[in-house]
Each structure stands twice: as C-alpha cells, then as structure tokens.
Amino acid sequence: MTAQPVDPVIDETSPVSLPYERWFLVAILILGVALRLHHITKPLGDHHSWRQTQTAMIAANLYLDGLNLWSPRVDFYCTEMCSETGLLVLEFPLYNALVALLYKIFGLHEFVGRLVSIAFSTLAALLLYRLARRISGPPVALFAAMYFVLSPISVFYGRAFMPESLMLCAGIGALLYFYDWLQDERGTTFIIAAIFAITAFVVKFPMIHIVIPMTYMAWAKHGRAVFRKKALALFLTLFLLPSAVWLYHSATSPNLDMSWLLSDVRLLRGKDLYRIMWERLGQDVLTSVGRGLFLLGLLLGLRKTEERVLDVWLGAAILYVLAVGMGNIVHDYYQLPLVPIAAIYIGKAISCLPQLPLRRFVWLPLMALLIIATGAESRRIVKPWYGEDIAGLYQFAETVKRTIPQGPPIMVSSSYVSFAPWDPRLLYAFRRKGWNIRPTSLRQSLEQPHNRKARHLVIYPTDGLDPALIAHLLTRYPIVAVQKTHMTGMVFDLGPLETQTQR
C-alpha cells in the first residue's frame, strides 16, 4: 500500500497576518541586537574564553598570513594536539575567514568578530520566525522568535567570538529553504537550501542531526517515490560531500582529540547526563519560565499534520545530545541546537493563552508577565558570564606587550588547573606565539637544552605554584617585569639561546 504524501510546507502567505505583525518582528529583532551588544568591546576574557580565543587566533592568522583555509593556524606550538608550526584543523574556518576579511577593512579588533556573531544570530531569529510561521502560524512564530532572542545561551553566544551563531543560522536556513524547495521545486530555492546545509555541516558537524527532520519532510512530501527523486539524491550528495572531505582532512591533520565528547554506555545508563540537561534547560537554555512553557507546549500536542516535523526535529536534537553526552555536560554552548526547536514549542504554549476561557485583560497581562519574567531571569543568568575567566589577565598582558619584543616566540605557564599545552588564552592575550608549559614540566623544559626554544618565560598567575619552583626560577633567571593585578604575574629573561648550556 503506497503511503499518501503529506505536504509539510505551508505557504508563508497562507496564514492570516496579525495586526502590526511586521512591527512586532522588527521590535523583537532590535531587542535581540540590543541584548547582544552588551560588552561588545570587552577583551576575550569572559565566559568560555578558551574557545573564543582559539577561534580568534585562527581568524587573526588568516588575516595576517593569508586566507589559507586549508591550513588554519593557532599561536601555540604543541606537539600533543597540533603541529610545531601551529597548524590545527578543527571545523572548517568559514566564520574565521569572514572575520579576517572584515579585519582588512576595520583592523584587527575583537568587536568585529562579535558583530559577525550578532549578525548571524539576528538572521537566525528571522529565519526561525519564517520557518515557524510556515508550520504553525504567525502567533507561534513571533513568540518563538522572542524566546530565541531571550534565551540566556542564545544571548551570550549570539555575541561570542565563536562560530555557533553561524552554525544555528545555517541549520535553521537549511530547514527553511528545504521546506520551500519541497513546495515550489525551484532551482534557486534548491541552491539556497544546499548552501545553507553545506555551511551548517562544515562549520559545526553536530548540525548533521537536522538531516533527520529533512528526511522526514521529503518522505512526507513524496512517500516511497522519494527514492526515485534524482534532485534529492543530488541534494544529499552536495551537502554531505564537502563535510566528508573536510572530516577526512581534519582526521589526517594535527587536531584536538574529540572522541571524549561522545557518550559511552556508562554515561547513558547513569543519571548525570539527564540531571544536568534538565537543570540546564531550566537555566542556561530556556530559563525556568521557558522550561515550564516548553513542557506545556509538548503537552498541548500538535494540532496539524504539518507540525509533525516539529516532533521529529525535537527527537533529532535529543539524539544529538545523547550521542555527544560528555560534550554537552562539559560545554553549555553544546545545547544551542536545542534552542530553536524548544522556542517553537514555547511559542505554541503562549499562543494558546487567548484560546483559554480568560478575558483579554487577563491573558494579555499574563503574556507580558511571562516574557518580562523570562527576560529578567535571562539577564540574571547571563550577567556573571561577562566576568573574566582569568582575573586580571588583560591588565597584565599590557605589561607583557611592553616588555617582550614582538616576533620571537615565548614560553608561558600558569597555576590554573585547566592550563594545558593547547591553552590559547595567555598567548592570545599577550599577542605572542610560543609554548604552553605545564608547571610540573617547567623546570625540565628549561634545563634541557633541546627543550629551550624561547628567550622569555611568562607566568600568570604565579599564585598557587610550588614555592620551590618560584625560588628556583628567581635564583636562575632575572625578572624583567612583575605585576600584581588581581594576581601576580612574572616575566623572566631566560638569556640568549646560544648560552643556555653554560648555565
């Protein structure tokens, strides 16, 4: 028996427009931009500065050394995870390249990268509105866009120096234009959908999970005839081939080991992943108000056949979280793919208020109260994230820049527990290239001639290091600079490299 094709696409013009709908949308987008402009010129020392500075390093090197996208480079030389030349192949550096191109116009300023993130985050909200409007109508679409721009992680990472906003924008755009192409089968729509899909998968491969709702849409439209559609086979080839090529390049090049991000049986059978995700939904991802509305949206169910794709999309997002469980536990921004689909369910919950047996003077203030409460809670959650990951680092960095000449590589170390040979934060703040040396390996690295490759050693902070190590350094090497900001930082002159063996 042949499955009856069901068209999941609603023409955007088919739902009756709400009064002042466009003005409401413009107000939502302006609000989203305003929230994301907060601290836009602040140094990259805020929440998740590790990932931000790593992205910024690659963008700066693309700007300074030429746009060689095949060989993205960082400023730390680490044989454990990258090459001695700084080659580090992670996701395809499209976001970094866009920032590098703008550096050529505006100069090397971090706010340029943040503006790029804000632009893509705002476009993502617009695309989400258009997608939700096709599926569930204007009220749901407006409230979905509102909650997307108010989500705490969407606010912060929508202005962070990271490719996540581009990833979300491309993923939502791929779903939207794939919808449109199934509806009109125009070549232009096909090309736009393919470009969005390719971008989503090469920029951040976890977005591969949207293949599941896209597959459902194609099946709902064509049924078993989907296997005979050459255009669908071409689309599948177009967006998977570039990702496969880049993944192969990454796997055969120096890169960070990402296998630890995946779930194992023990993690899936335990409680930690589910407990942490539940708590994050009520804080970083949706706020407690948003989490309650999301659950209400789920309980309300799907009233139209076209909306079944929402359940499929949500299921695919949950599968992604389960597959990349450890990554989602460690990194809060890994939950960003949950925000768009959750926002649509929240939009469904709020849009149902006028249908309750309540007078307008009751449900209108209730709507406003829910949105205001969400905004206030989101601000409370995000506010601490603007603080410095390493307090006083950028103040001390000004001393380092004045003290150490530009050009020659340096050695850096730190008492921070998370400090590792592939830590980008100190070297990026100092605007220098060099080696990150763990404190436990510092003495050995300095005393073995073949390990000494730098003239200067910078340690920040020194607080908490073994006093015997500090005493050893003070007796062996002269201090060029010392500064106490929030913590103590020291710059040592290690002497000319050719005289190292005489020490």
Write down the pLDDT at residue 4: 43
- pTM for the structure as a whole: 0.91
Contact by Cβ (8 Å): 193, 181: yes
Tell me the domain boundaries of the chain.
Answer: 21-384, 393-502
* Residue 447 CB contacts under 8 Å (≥ 6 apart), including other chains: none
CA distances from 222 to 107, 136, 211, 216 (A): 51, 21, 16, 10
* Residue 38 CB contacts under 8 Å (≥ 6 apart), including other chains: 159, 386
SS3 458: strand
Write down the pLDDT at residue 122: 98
Residue 12 has pLDDT above 80, yes or no: no
pLDDT tens-place string over residues 307-341: 899 999 999 999 999 999 999 999 999 999 999 99
pLDDT tens-place string over residues 55-70: 999 999 999 998 999 9
What residue spans of 19-159 are helical by DSSP H?
21-36, 49-65, 94-106, 110-136, 138-150, 152-157
Contact by Cβ (8 Å): 172, 340: yes
Indicate the pLDDT class of residue 358, thresholds 50, 70 and 90.
Answer: low
Alpha-carbon distance of 346 to 118, in angstroms, equals 23
Ramachandran bin of 308, using left for φ above 0, alpha for ψ from -120 to 50, beta for the remaining angles: alpha
